[in-house]
């Protein structure tokens, strides 16, 4: 399987247009035509994470937080982000971030948190985004998302117990 196929599957579940305007989710570093040798999942990409991916034979890192959040004026050894980008490129490691797009997706991070809290009747709240994307068969499908979810507890819960 090629990296671009993994990206396509991730983005079918959590399309990039669901991300917040300040975010920089999606492909961060690397080539997409390469065959996947293994994938490492993490919260934040660091030099040590790239080292771990290389040691485990993974050429794909899927992170929650973007490594590149702001424009890079240069790629050198000037700071940790630049060094991490260089290390990934030197080792043919592709980095992808699934941040607020996967937070905001139906069944994404916000829904998983609600599930862990044992909330019922969970639904989006706030402004909803409705976007059209292609499924794995190339058919147009609508995907809905929002910046948060709301639900209720099955039984009333005292504030102290909730905390």
Tell me: do 116 and 67 sit in the same domain.
no
Mean pLDDT computed over every residue of the chain: 95
Tell me: do 94 and 143 sit in the same domain.
no
- Boundary of a domain, candidates 83, 100, 117: 100
State the DSSP H helix or E strand holding residue 140, giving kind and residue range, or none if neither. Answer: strand 140-153
Tell me: do 109 and 153 sit in the same domain.
yes
Tell me: do 96 and 61 sit in the same domain.
yes
Tell me: do 119 and 140 sit in the same domain.
yes
CATH number of the domain residue 57 falls in: 3.40.1390.30
Crossing angle for the helix pair 47-55 and 80-90, to the nearest 10 degrees? 20
- Boundary of a domain, candidates 80, 100, 120: 100
Query: Average pLDDT in the 152-156 region?
Result: 93
pLDDT at 22: 96
- Boundary of a domain, candidates 100, 116, 139: 100
Q: What angle do CA 86, 11, 82 make, to 5 degrees?
A: 15
Tell me: do 95 and 119 sit in the same domain.
no
For residue 149, which phi and psi values (nearest 5 degrees)?
Answer: -130, 160
**Strand-pair category, 140-153 with 26-29:** unpaired
Domain count, the chain: 2
pTM of the model: 0.91
For 71-95, how does the pLDDT look when each residue is reduced to its tens digit (9 = 90+)? 999 999 999 999 999 999 999 999 9
> Which residues does 112 contact at the CB level (< 8 Å), separation at least 6?
none
Tell me: do 12 and 86 sit in the same domain.
yes
pLDDT at 7: 96
Query: Any bridge partners for residue 26, and if so which?
Result: 97
Tell me: do 52 and 39 sit in the same domain.
yes
Tell me: do 11 and 56 sit in the same domain.
yes
> Which structural domain range is residue 125 located in?
103-162
Tokens of 64: 């929650």
For 31-74, how does the pLDDT look when each residue is reduced to its tens digit (9 = 90+)? 999 999 999 999 999 999 999 999 999 999 999 999 999 999 99
Tell me: do 117 and 71 sit in the same domain.
no
Tell me: do 12 and 50 sit in the same domain.
yes
pLDDT at 162: 84
Tell me: do 92 and 58 sit in the same domain.
yes
CB 99 within 8 A of CB 25: yes
pLDDT at 137: 83
pLDDT at 96: 98
For 93-151, how does the pLDDT look when each residue is reduced to its tens digit (9 = 90+)? 999 999 999 999 999 999 999 999 999 999 999 899 999 888 878 888 889 999 999 99
């Amino acid at each position: 399987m090629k990296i671009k196929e993994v990206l396509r599957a991730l983005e079918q579940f959590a399309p990039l247009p669901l991300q917040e305007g300040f975010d920089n989710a999606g492909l961060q570093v690397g080539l997409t035509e390469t065959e996947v040798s293994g994938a490492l999942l993490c919260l934040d990409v660091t030099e040590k994470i790239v080292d771990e991916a290389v040691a485990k034979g993974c050429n794909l890192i899927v992170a929650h937080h973007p490594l590149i959040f702001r424009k890079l004026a240069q790629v050198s050894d000037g700071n940790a982000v630049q060094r991490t980008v260089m290390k990934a490129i030197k080792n043919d490691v592709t980095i992808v971030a699934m941040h607020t797009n996967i937070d905001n997706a139906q069944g994404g991070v916000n829904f998983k948190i609600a599930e862990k809290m044992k909330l019922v009747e969970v639904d989006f709240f706030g402004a909803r985004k409705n976007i059209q994307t292609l499924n794995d068969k190339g058919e147009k499908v609508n995907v809905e998302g929002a910046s948060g979810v709301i639900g209720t507890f099955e039984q009333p819960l005292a504030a102290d117990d909730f905390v």
